Structure 1
Amino acid sequence: MRTFGRSVQIGVESIIGAATDVTRRKFQWREMILQCWALLTVTTIPAILMAIPFGVIVSVQVGNLIHQLGADSMLGAGGGLGVIKQGAPMATGFLLGGAGASAIAADLGARTIREEIEALKTMGIDPIHRLVIPRMVAMVIVAPLLNILIIFVGILTGYVMAIASLGVTPGSYWATFGSFATVADVWVSLAKSIIFGFLVVVIACQRGLEAKGGPRGVADGVNAAVVISVVSIVLVNLAMTQVVSMFLPTRIA
């Protein structure tokens, strides 16, 4: 519970500090851009590689079920709904929790055991404003971009599979694509990815800043950051899915 409380404290301080830094023109724009680039370089190719088999799996599984029901023309609707509402935000969260969280936790953990964090405090520089906030903003920016990339690749892969192996005509696929997936579902998917990114960066920063015990402590912090991030994403996704289902039930567009 104390660890959870410290994570919440870092998250609240980061949100308030980001608004304050932007207002006072003290925001670390250069550090934020560098972190955005670093996150994109370690997550873009894995996102594409993850989205391709995911699109194939959704297309094949949903296609077989719809074929048994005799509604082959609805494959586009089922595939689009699965990728947009659940697949893309979860894949984004797992990528950020794996590649992003490990990179951030390792970086901050190494700085901590080398006493760079204590040196910053000695010089009157707040590590939250100097290190955590730029990473938080970078993660929040990169998360929806990865989400959009996974949606695009996943849907395109599902379309190719539906046309090539399931015998669905292109016109019927795209005609039924928007039957259930609406613009609101896309916004919910983007909101999920942003929330997952925020959770990941807060957990990674907390574990990195509290690393101790030399290189072994950094490794333990990285491992804990990845595991806790994935578990948190699964639990938060479950809660958000229930809430969204209550207020935005699936309906024909």
Structure 2
Amino acid sequence: MGRPRTPWKLGLSEVQARYEAGESAESLGQACGVSYQAVIRALREAGVEIRKSGGRPGPRRGHVSVRETRTCKGERCANEFEVYPSSNKRFCSPACRYSSPEIAKLMATNIRNRHRLSEIDSAARTAMCSVCGPVDVRQRREKKKYATTAVLWRCRSAERARVWARQYGADSTTIRAMWESQGRRCAICRTALGERFNVDHCHASSRIRGLLCSQCNTGLGLFADTPQRLRAAADYLERTGDVNA
């Protein structure tokens, strides 16, 4: 004779209900006095969908997803994908992004290689760029298996131009013109902006709204770009009297 089967302290219907409510198989096994493998096996035989380790399959009960559905902006592509509202993603894949005429036109000028550096000062990390003039530079190393030991430098303005083209679909001339039109100052607090500014954009349409300092750009993001919350915060500060001039 084999080993007698251990009786369960809980009924299968109660175990199933508690498992579907979110309780783990380990805790149910302890409550029933059996191993969690026995609980999983019994639930599977009863036709219950078994969760993967560490979570429930699909969205939680009563959970409303904060993601939104967008349509790919690529040519001859109508795929839909889910993103968070704060994302500026416009294409469903890198293939669609780089095949887009808008991005291809910006990338066709070979932004990185047009910026030739000379008069490099490694201590101050500055150089003379053939396009931008005096700029800050960043040290980089070749990403090759048998890379050379020579120190390579990259124009930071060229790196920013590449990001502007890829993320916002704007060239450096447009961004620089906006920078000059704002008097080289933040569009909100009017703090002087150096070469390192933040491009503020609408997360729904990816339209560039202005150039901000780091603090203002972070503040808008923390308030979810909601005017009502920003006005309520201003009213709260004025009501409590703790306002910095």
TM class by shorter-chain length?
A: under 0.3
Higher relative contact order (CA 8 A, sep 6+): 1
TM-score, normalised with respect to structure 1: 0.23
More helix by proportion, 1 or 2? 1
More strand by proportion, 1 or 2? 2
TM-score, normalised with respect to structure 2: 0.24
Greater gyration radius: 2
